[in-house]
Each structure stands twice: as structure tokens, then as C-alpha cells.
């Protein structure tokens, strides 16, 4: 038994999802290798080598791999997969895009968003927007899976793995990177923040969302949103928390002007403490909130900002 983790990185450092994947991998009790693919991999590979629990870091460096597109990375992973029983990726958009392509090339199924490792073949994962937890057993010789970051703590440093270049052929692909539009933010990353303040349709407008940002900044929190707030154009869609957005499990989640639809709850109900601020006392969010405050958020938010 041996596990390969495909690292997600930005040339400088590994993404949090990859560190969670290492933790999930160590629960299998087998050696863990990390594959770092890109146009410039030295920094990310060095970081991977220093992660506790990692045995070996494999690198593939080529200018064609600059944007880590699945069409290039999946065939590389396939060339290496024969040495492994498990291939694990974080369940970020990178992992979700890549893992199924790797699995299909290897002729096996894939398990998505694993939240618990029971043994080397048996895993738990949420289905139906988190309203049911399935225990599944894979009989594939190679298990390819993505793991949910909020279910596994990030692996610590303290390792000293060897770094070596993998001997693989870099494939050609009929896809070209055109450009990226990155949302700028100085706030903590949504999926790893200790506190998240989220706004919904009830916030009212893009301008009024400033009150949500103000509270978040006062608390050192990340800012999230419901689908309604995104669709109304209050905030960009990469801030969406829910079944089709990001999964978060902070220590404190403050839901402001969010009714609490099934799809939103799927993304945040594992949070430590949940606070709901809503003027509708029948809103479903109050059914899962530890502390609820019924009232107008336009009055409550400024008062909160001034008092915390």
C-alpha cells in the first residue's frame, strides 16, 4: 500500500486543501508521496518535503504545466499511478476538476468529498447536500478520491522528505489557458478562517454589504455569502457558501440575512458555533443556530461592530 497526493500550489506554496489531504492520507497508515507538477515547482516541492508524514516528493517541471490544467496533469498522474493503491486530492475546484479525469484514465471509480477514512477501502462521504452520510466501499485496485478540507486538519511541518524528479512524459493537449480574473482580498481565506461572517439576500444591496465586511474586519473574519446574495450581484460568486459553493467549518459562523435553505446549510452546518441574525423569526436558519437574534440587521450590525 502506498498513497500519492497530487499537490495544488501557486508556485510559491501549497494550498490548504493539499495539507488536509496529507492528514487524510496518513490515516491509511501507508507511505505518502506528494506529486508537485508545474512550470516552477521548487518552492512548493520544498514545502511539501517539510510536511510531517510525507515520505517522498516527486516533481514534474515543464512550461506546458504552468496552469496545472487537468488535460496535462491527469496523464502524468496516470503514468505514476501503477506504484500506488491510493491517489488523494483536496476537494477544491482543482481537485474536483482533476481527480475524475485521473480515475477514468486509470479505469477506476472515484470517491468525492470523503469526510472520514474507516479503512483502506471504506470511507464516509456526504450525499444529498449533506442530508445523508454514505459509507462506501471501493473494490477498485486503485482508489482515487478527493477529501473535504474541513473534515481533516492541515498537516503540520516537521518532515524532511527527499525530493526527486519523476520520469514521465509531458503530454500534449488541445486546450490553452487564456486568462484569469482573481478576486482580491486581504481577509483570511474563507475555507480556513476561524470566523466567517456571511450575508444573504436580507442584506439588501451591494452597498449595504459593507456592514457585513465591517463586522468581519472587526472580528478578523472571512466573508461568505448565500447564493441569493451572489445572484443579486452583492458579491462575487467565489464567496458562495453551500452545496455548490464552498464548504466551511469555522469555530464561529455568523449568518446575516440568510434564511437557511438546504443548499446553504450543506456548506456550513459543521461550524462550531452558529449565530443567526434575521428579522424573520420563522427562518429555518434558527433551527440550527446556537444563538439567534431576531431583528433588523441594519440596526444590529453597526451595534455589533461598535461593541465587540
Partner 1 sequence: MKALVAVKRVIDYNVKVRVKADNSDVDLANTKMSINPFCEIAVEEAVRLKEAGVVSEIVVVSIGDKSCQEQMRYAMALGADRGIQVEAEGKLNSLDVARILAKVNESENAEILLLGKQAIDSDNNQTGQMLAALLDVPQATFASEVKIADGKAQVTREVDGGLVTVEMDLPAVITTDLRLNEPRFAALPKIMQAKRKPLDVKTLADLGVELTNSVELISVETPAERSGGIKVDSVDALIDKLRNEAQVI
- Which residues within the stretch 26-45 sit at the binding site for partner 1 (CB under 8 A)? none
Beta carbons of 73 and 65 less than 8 angstroms apart: yes
Distance CA(141)–CA(252), nearest Å, equals 41
Asked if 186 contacts 206 with a C-beta cutoff of 8 angstroms, the reply is no
Does 150 interact with partner 1 (rule: CB under 8 A)? Answer: no
- Residues 99 to 138 in contact with partner 1, rule: CB under 8 A: 99-105, 107-113, 122, 126-138
Binding to partner 1 in span 65-84, by CB under 8 A: 67, 69-71, 74
Among 9, 56, 211, 227, binds partner 1 (CB under 8 A): 227
Binding partner 1 (rule: CB under 8 A), the pick from 42, 162, 165, 262 is 262
- Cβ count near 136 (within 10 Å): 15
Size (the chain), residues: 308
* Closer residue to partner 1 (CB): 167 or 174: 174
> According to the binding rule CB under 8 A, does residue 170 interact with partner 1?
no
Would you count residue 172 as binding partner 1 (CB under 8 A)? Answer: no
Between 40 and 263, name the residue whose CB sits nearer to partner 1: 263
Q: How far is CA 277 from the centre of its chain?
A: 26
* Cα 140 to Cα 134: distance, rounded to the nearest angstrom: 18
Shortest Å, Cβ 14 to partner 1? 14
Which helix (H) or strand (E) element contains residue 25?
helix 16-26
Report how far residue 16's alpha carbon sits from residue 217's, in angstroms, rounded to the nearest whole number: 22
Residue 164 beta carbon to partner 1: minimum distance, rounded to whole angstroms: 27
Considering only 39, 153, 251, 280, the residue that binds partner 1 (CB under 8 A) is 251
219 makes contact with partner 1 (CB under 8 A): yes
Whole-angstrom distance, CA of residue 42 vs CA of residue 249: 32
Amino acid at each position: 500500500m502506498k498513497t500519492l497526493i497530487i499537490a495544488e500550489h501557486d508556485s510559491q506554496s501549497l494550498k490548504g486543501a493539499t495539507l488536509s489531504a496529507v492528514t487524510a492520507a496518513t490515516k491509511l497508515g501507508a507511505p505518502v508521496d506528494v506529486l508537485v507538477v508545474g512550470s516552477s515547482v521548487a518552492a512548493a516541492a520544498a514545502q511539501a518535503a517539510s510536511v510531517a508524514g510525507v515520505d517522498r516528493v516527486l516533481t514534474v517541471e515543464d512550461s506546458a504545466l504552468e496552469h496545472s490544467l487537468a488535460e496535462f496533469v491527469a496523464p502524468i498522474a496516470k503514468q505514476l499511478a501503477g506504484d500506488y493503491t491510493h491517489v488523494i486530492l483536496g476537494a477544491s475546484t482543482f481537485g474536483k476538476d482533476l481527480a475524475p479525469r485521473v480515475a477514468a484514465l486509470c479505469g477506476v471509480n472515484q470517491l468525492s468529498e470523503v469526510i472520514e477514512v474507516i479503512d483502506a477501502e471504506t470511507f464516509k462521504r456526504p450525499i444529498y447536500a449533506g442530508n445523508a452520510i454514505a459509507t462506501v466501499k471501493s473494490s477498485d485496485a486503485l482508489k482515487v478520491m478527493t477529501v473535504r478540507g474541513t473534515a481533516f486538519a492541515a498537516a503540520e511541518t516537521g518532515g524532511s522528505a527527499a525530493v526527486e524528479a519523476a520520469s514521465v512524459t509531458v503530454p500534449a493537449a488541445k486546450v490553452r489557458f487564456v486568462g484569469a480574473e482573481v478576486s482580491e482580498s486581504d481577509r483570511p481565506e474563507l475555507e480556513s478562517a476561524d470566523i466567517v461572517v456571511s450575508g444573504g439576500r436580507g442584506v439588501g444591496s451591494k452597498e449595504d454589504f459593507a456592514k457585513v465586511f465591517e463586522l468581519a474586519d472587526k472580528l478578523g473574519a472571512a466573508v461568505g455569502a448565500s447564493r441569493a446574495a451572489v445572484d443579486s450581484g452583492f458579491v462575487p460568486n467565489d464567496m458562495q457558501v453551500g452545496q455548490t459553493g464552498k464548504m466551511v467549518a469555522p469555530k464561529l459562523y455568523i449568518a446575516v440575512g440568510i434564511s437557511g435553505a438546504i443548499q446553504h446549510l450543506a456548506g456550513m452546518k459543521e461550524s462550531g458555533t452558529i449565530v443567526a441574525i434575521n428579522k424573520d423569526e420563522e427562518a429555518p436558519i434558527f433551527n440550527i443556530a446556537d444563538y439567534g437574534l431576531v431583528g433588523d440587521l441594519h440596526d444590529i450590525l453597526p451595534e455589533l461592530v461598535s461593541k465587540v
